[in-house]
Chain A
Amino acid sequence: MNTTLPITPETVTRVTLDNGLTILVKENPNNASVTLRGRLRAGGMFDTPQTSGLAHFTTAALQRGTRKRTFQELNEELDRYGMSFGIGAGTETIGFSGKSLVEDFNRLLDVVADVLMHPTFPRREVEKLRAEILTDLEEDDQDTQHVAYREFRRLCYPETHPYHRLSDGTIKTVKRLTIEQLRAFHARYFRPDVTTLVIVGDVRAEQAIEKVERVLGRWRATGKPSPHSIPDAPPLKQIARRVIPLDGKTQADVVLGYPALRRNDPDFYALSLGDLIFGRLGLYGRLGANVRDEQGLAYYVFSSVEASLGAGPWTVRAGVNPKNLERAIESILAEIRRLRSEQVTQDELDEARDFLTGSLALRLETNDGVAAILSDIELFDLGLDYLQRYPQIIRSITAEQILTTVQKYAQVENYALAIAGPVEQ
C-alpha cells in the first residue's frame, strides 16, 4: 500500500518554459490513462456589459475549426481514439481538460495545442455555435436555479464588479458579438505566460514535458499580459430581495448570501470550517438538520463559499414548495443568527476538522482528483508542500476564530436574496 501523499515538492515536477507556460506533472502508473488539465488567467472579467459573453463564446468557438483541423476532423479524431477534450470560460479563468489512453497522449496534446494556438473561427461553425449558446441562454432563463443564482449575483455585487454578471452573457449581447471580436479576444488573452498545464497519469515527467515543449514551445505572445485582478466587493448595506416569477414551475429556488472573501484571505480556513458546520457536513450540516431533516421543507438546502481570485460569495441555496417559502427563509435566517451568536461546539469543530483532514486521501485517489488539486495549488500559489501543511492549518483554527469570522461576513439585517419560481412578485 502506498501511504505517501501524491502531491509533495519531491513527487511533482514543475517547470516553466521560455515562453512562460507552466507545466506540472505527477506520474501515476496505476491507470493506463493520462489526465490533462489546464487554466488560463483570463475570462469573463475582461468582458464589458456590452460584450458580456465574449470570453465564453470565444472559448467555445476554439474547437470549431483550427489551422490543422476542421470541426468535423477534430471531432472524428477525438472520437476515433476515445479521447475527451473540453474547454470553457469562467469569470476569471478559462479552464480545459482532456483525457486519453497513454498510447494516444501525443495526439491529445497535438489537439490541445492546435485549439489553443490556431483557431480559425469559420463563419458557418461560429453561427451554429451562436444558435446553440442562444438556446442555452433561453433554457437558463427558465431554469429556476439558474435564474435565482444570476439574480443573486446582481443583488450581491455592484454593477461595475465582474461578479455582478455570469460569464455566459445575455441573449442581447451574444446576438451582437462579431467574429472579429472573437478573434481579437483570442489574440489578446490566449497566451502561454498566463497558462498552466497539469498532467497526471502513466507518463514519465521528463518525457511529458518534452512533448509539451514540442507542441506548445513555439506559442508566443507579444507585450505583457493584461492585469488580472478582481476589485474588492463592498459589503451589503441593506436587505436586497428580488422575486422572479416563472410559469409552469412547481418549486421555488432560493439563493441567499453575501460577498465573502478571496481564496488567499487569512480568514479563508475559518470561514470554510464555519461553512462546513453550517451547511455542508454530511447531509448539509446544521441547515440540513433543521430545514430538511426536522421540518421536511426542502430536498436540498446547503451553503457554500466560492472563494476565488476575487471575493466570491458565501451563499445558502434551497429548493422549496412556494407555500413553505417564508418558513424556509426564516429558518435559514434563524440558523445564521445562531451561527453568529454562539461558538460552534467542540464536537462540531472536531467533526469538521476530522472530515477535512481525513478525507484528503479520498480526493487524491484518482488522476482527475490529483489534477484538480494541483491546478488549484498553482492558481492560488499555495505551494507544492500545501498538502503537507494542510492538516496543521486546519487543526489550528479555533471555535472563537470561526465565530469572529462568520460575524464579519454573515449578517441577519443585510443580505441579498433572490427567489425564482411559481411565486408572485
Chain B
Amino acid sequence: MSQVLEAQLENGLKVLLKPIRTAPVATFWVWYRVGSRNEVPGKTGISHWVEHMMFKGTPTLGKGEIMHLINRNGGVDNAFTSNDYTAYFELLPSDRIDLALRIESDRMVNALFDPNEVESERTVIISEREGAENEPRFWLGEEVLALAFKVHPYHHDTIGWKTDLLTITRDDLYAHYRTYYVPNNAVIVAAGDFDANEMLAKIERAFGTIPRGGDVPPVKIVEPPQEGERRVVLRRPGPASYFHAAYHAPNATDPDFFAVFVLTGILSGVGGMSFSGHSSPGRSSRLYRALVETGLAVDVDCTFRATIDPGTLDVTATARPGVPLEKIERAIFVELEKIASQRVTSRELDKVIKQARAQFVYAMDGVMNVGGWLGQLEMVASYKMYDTFLENLMKVTRDDVRRVAEKIFRETNRTVGWFIPTNNSAPRARRGGHA
C-alpha cells in the first residue's frame, strides 16, 4: 500500500498512518501482539478476558464512560481477540478523532481491573462461550483444533476452556495486562481524513510519555511434525452430520504462503482474505462441484488464514440428510489427492487471481477496512505485504500449487473430525436448569 507513513516512538510504539480524504471519517486502531497464542495451560482465554476488562474503566474514564463519549461524538468502537493479536478500534467523524487517542492512550496503562468488575465479567465471558456451545460446529472445531496441535497454543480457541474461565483470578488478568499492554508491544494504525504529520504529532503527545515496558516473553513453542492421522468422532444432539479436516499449513511469512492461498482459492474460491469477513465460497470451485453439485453435501468450504506460526488449512462440510460421513470424506479426499497429483489449469489460476484482485478493491471501500487490513498484516507479517500481495499471487505457478498441495494433503498431516447427531427421538438427557 502506497503512502503509508511509518514511524516509531522512542518508547517502541510503532505507528502506521494512511490518509484517505474521500469522506469526513477516520478510524484509529491499537493492535497488541498478544492473543491466545501467548497463553499457558490453566490460563486459556485470558487475553480475550483482558480485552473485555478494557471497557471497565480507568481512574479518569469510569466504567461505561468510553461508550458514552463515543456515542456523544457519533462514533462506534469495539475490540476483538484472535490467537495472534488483540485489536481495539474507533470509527469517528474525522473532526472527533482526538477522542480515540485519549481513550486508547489512557487504557494502554490505566485500566483498573476492579475485582467486582472481574467477577461480573467472568459470567459474561462464560455466557459468551455457552452461546457458542449451542452450535454443533463449535464443539467439532474445538475438538479438531485440540487434536491437531499437541504442544503449540493454537491448541485452544481464544474463548478458552470453561474450567480455566472459572479459575482465572483478577491478579492473573492484571499481570497479563501489564506484561503485554506496553508501547513496545503495540502498533497504532490510523486511516482516513487527516493529515499524516499532524496525526503523528498528536500520537506523540498522547502516547509518547508512556514508558517502555519489559520485553514480552517470546513464544518459542514449535509444533512437532505430525506422525500419523488423528481422528475424533463426536456424538451429540444436532441437526446434521458435520465433517472437519485440519491440515498443518504454512504461516504468513513462509515463501509458500501465496501458493497455499491460491490452492485454497481453487478449492473453494477467494473471499476468506477479505478483512470484513468470509464471503460464501465460490460455486464454480472444485470442492463445491464435487460435494454440493453431486448432492453429497449441502455446503463445503476450505479456509486458510494468515497466522504468525504455522496454523491449519481447514476443510469443512455439512452432509446432506441421509448421506454418511464416509462418503463425504471420500469425496473430499479424492479432490485433495487430485490437486496434489495433477496440475491445475491455467484458467483456474487466472480465475483465482482475478477474484483476489476484485476482493482487494472491494476491501478498500471504507477506512475501517483499510485500517483492519494494515493492522492484521502487520501483526502476522508486515503491513508491506499488502503492496506486493497481488504481485506475489501472480508469481504462483501451476507447479507450485501442486507441490504445496502434495506437501499439505498427506494422511499423516491431517486431523479428521466427525460430528454425528445422536437420535433426537431418544429420551432427552437434559443438563440442569428449570424454566
Binding site for B on A (CB under 8 A): 1-3, 30-33, 71-72, 75-76, 78-84, 86, 99-101, 128, 131-132, 134-136, 138-139, 141-145, 243, 245-253, 281-283, 289, 292-300, 319-326, 350-352, 354-355, 357-362, 364-369, 419, 421-425
B123 A80 Cβ-Cβ under 8 A: no
B429 and A78 form a contact (CB under 8 A):
no
Q: A300-B127, A361-B93 are in contact. List 15 more A-B contacts (CB 8 A).
A: A1-B193, A30-B365, A71-B283, A75-B283, A76-B284, A79-B351, A82-B355, A83-B358, A248-B236, A250-B134, A292-B124, A299-B131, A325-B435, A351-B71, A423-B435
Which residue of B has the minimal Cβ distance to A289?
B64
Q: Is B59 an interface residue (CB 8 A)?
A: no
B42 at the interface (CB under 8 A from A): no
- B430, A297: Cβ atoms closer than 8 Å: no
Interface residue tally of chain B, by bracket?
A: 35 or more
Residues of B within 8 A of A80 (CB): 284, 351, 354
Proximity bits, B53-73, A CB within 8 Å = 1, else 0: 001000000011001101111
List of B residues within 8 angstroms of A359 by Cβ: 74-76
Do B434 and A322 touch across chains, with their CB atoms under 8 A apart?
Answer: yes
Residues of B within 8 A of A360 (CB): 74
Residues of A within 8 A of B411 (CB): none
Task: Report how far A357 CA is from B96 CA in the complex, Å.
Answer: 14
Compute how far the CA of A365 lies from the CA of B192 in the bound complex, rounded to whole angstroms. Answer: 10
Residues in A neighbouring B299, C-beta threshold 8 A: 132
How far is the CB of A388 from the nearest CB of chain B, in Å? 16
Q: Cβ of B435 and Cβ of A425 under 8 Å apart?
A: yes
> A84, A86, A247, A351 — which one has the most chain B CB atoms within 10 A of its CB?
A247
Point out the residues of chain A lying under 8 angstroms from B130, CB to CB: 250-251, 319, 321
- By the criterion CB–CB under 8 Å, are A251 and B127 in contact? yes
Tell me whether B430 and A424 are in contact (CB under 8 A): yes
B74 contact set on A, CB distance < 8 A: 354-355, 357-362
- With the chains together, A143 CA to B91 CA distance in Å? 33
Q: A294-B120, A423-B433, A423-B435 are in contact. Are A31 and B354 (CB under 8 A)?
A: no
**A366→B363 CA distance, assembly (Å):** 10
Give every chain B residue within 8 A of A71 (Cβ-Cβ): 283
Binary contact readout B267-303 vs A (1 if CB under 8 angstroms, 0 otherwise):
0011000000001101111001100110100110000
User: Are A81 and B354 interface neighbours, CB within 8 A?
Assistant: yes
* B63 x A293 contact (CB < 8 A): yes
Q: Are B433 and A325 in contact (CB under 8 A)?
A: yes
Chain A residues with CB under 8 A of B119: 296
The answer to whether residues A364 and B123 also contact, given A31-B361, A355-B71 and a CB cut-off of 8 A, is no
- In the complex, B321 has a CB within 8 A of chain A: yes
Cα–Cα, bound, A421→B362 (Å): 39
Interface mask (B241-272 → A, CB under 8 Å = 1, otherwise 0): 00000000000000000000000000001100
Enumerate chain B residues within 8 angstroms of A142, measured Cβ to Cβ: 237-239
**Complex Cα–Cα for A424 and B120 (A):** 27
Contacts of B364 in A (CB 8 A): 31
- Among residues of B, the one whose C-beta sits closest to the C-beta of A291 is B124
Residues on the A chain within 8 Å of B288, using CB:
75
User: Could you tell me the distance in whole angstroms from the C-beta of B146 to the nearest C-beta in chain A?
Assistant: 18
Asked whether A282 lies within 8 Å of B133 as measured between CB atoms, the reply is no
* Closest-CB distance, A135 to chain B (whole angstroms): 4
A282-B68 in contact given A100-B358, A299-B128, A425-B435 (Cβ < 8 Å): yes
In contact, A354 and B72 (Cβ under 8 angstroms) = yes
B361 lies within 8 A of A32 (CB): yes
Shortest beta-carbon distance, A62 to chain B, in Å?
A: 14
Point out the residues of chain A lying under 8 angstroms from B136, CB to CB. 248
The distance in angstroms between the C-alpha atoms of A245 and B73, with both chains bound, is: 44
Q: Verify B365–A135 contact, CB threshold 8 A.
A: no
Q: Are A422 and B433 in contact (CB under 8 A)?
A: yes
Taking a contact as CB atoms closer than 8 A, the residue among B321, B357, B429 that contacts A247 in the complex is B429
With A30-B22, A351-B72 as contacts: A245 and B127 at CB distance below 8 Å: no
Complex contacts, B351 vs chain A, CB 8 Å: 79-80
Q: Which residue of A lies closest to B426 (CB)?
A: A247
B401 contacts partner chain A, Cβ-Cβ < 8 Å = no
B435 and A424 within 8 A (CB): yes
Report how far A324 CA is from B93 CA in the complex, Å: 40
A-B contact pairs, 29 of them (CB 8 A): A1-B94, A79-B284, A82-B357, A101-B361, A128-B295, A131-B320, A282-B67, A289-B64, A296-B119, A296-B122, A298-B127, A321-B123, A321-B433, A322-B435, A325-B435, A326-B435, A350-B72, A351-B68, A358-B72, A361-B23, A361-B74, A362-B76, A364-B23, A368-B365, A422-B432, A423-B434, A424-B433, A424-B434, A425-B435
- CB closest chain-A residue, reference B270: A82
Q: What's the nearest-Cβ distance from chain B to residue A320, in Å?
A: 7
- In the complex, the chain A residue whose C-beta lies closest to that of B427 is A247
6 closest A-B pairs by CB: A358-B74, A322-B433, A82-B358, A282-B67, A248-B237, A296-B120
B359: chain A residues at CB < 8 Å are: 82
CB contacts under 8 Å to A, within B407-435, are 422, 424, 428-435
Q: Which of B158-183 contact A (CB under 8 A)?
A: none
Residue of A nearest to B424 (CB): A247
A321 touching B430 by the CB < 8 A rule? no
Question: Which one, A252, A321, A369, contacts B126 given CB within 8 A?
Answer: A321
- Interface residues in B24-49 by Cβ distance below 8 A to A read 24-25
Q: How far is the CA of A423 from the CA of B431 in the complex (A)?
A: 8
Q: Give the residue of A141, A252, A282 whose beta carbon is less than 8 angstroms from that of B64.
A: A282
A253 to B23, CA, bound (A): 39
Which residues of B are found within 8 Å of A84, using beta-carbon distances? 279
Bound complex: CA A247 to CA B424 (Å) = 8
Determine the distance from Cα of A154 to Cα of B91 in the docked complex, in whole angstroms: 39
Taken together as a complex, chains A and B put the C-alpha atoms of A246 and B435 apart, in Å, by 13
